[in-house]
Amino acid sequence: MTTAGEIMHRGAQWIPSHETLDRAAQLMRELNVGALPVSDENERLCGILTDRDIVIGCVAMGHDPARVTAGDLAKGTPRWIDSNAGVDEVLNEMESHQIRRLPVIENKRLVGMISESDLAQHLSEDQLATWVETVYARSMTR
């Protein structure tokens, strides 16, 4: 059985919830990623921040990204997957919650992220097509 730990990309980094969005954008640029898991003061997942969140939730609203924190935009229940979970569990979690990026946790620590590109590299064409249809089709009807 292929696991989340086998398909994830390593090197994911937290952004603390108290950090500003301008710092988050800089970190995204440095890491060449479009999303960062947001951690609370105990390094527990409290959300995910995307580049789109920064643009839509801050800049387009006329707010200053140097004054808005990652925690200000980290809303809802964060989703994650254990590194030992099978690919079917990964797909189920992402499909049922319509998410495109999924933090991978091992022993209560962030060890990686699973993104669309990770799925594209490790899934069959049929699995990938079903995932895309499920995640994107539902989000288009909202």
Q: At what angle do helices 125-140 and 87-96 cross, to 10 degrees?
A: 20
Rounded Cα gap, residues 79 and 102, in angstroms: 7
Strand partners, 125: none
Note down the domain range covering 73.
4-140
In DSSP notation, 104-131 reads: EEETTEEEEEE-HHHHHHHS-HHHHHHH
pLDDT, tens only, 35-83:
999 999 888 899 999 999 999 999 999 999 999 999 999 877 889 999 9
pLDDT, tens only, 85-99:
999 999 999 988 888
Rounded Cα gap, residues 75 and 92, in angstroms: 21
Top-confidence residue, 67 or 108: 67
Amino acid code (one letter) for 110: L
- Residue 139: the pLDDT is 53
- Residue 12: the pLDDT is 87
Top-confidence residue, 128 or 53: 53
- Residue 134: the pLDDT is 82
The CATH code of the domain that includes 63 is: 3.10.580.10
Number of separate domains in the chain: 1
Please say whether the beta carbons of 12 and 110 come within 8 A: yes
Integer CA distances (angstroms), 25 to 43, 75, 129, in order: 20, 18, 31
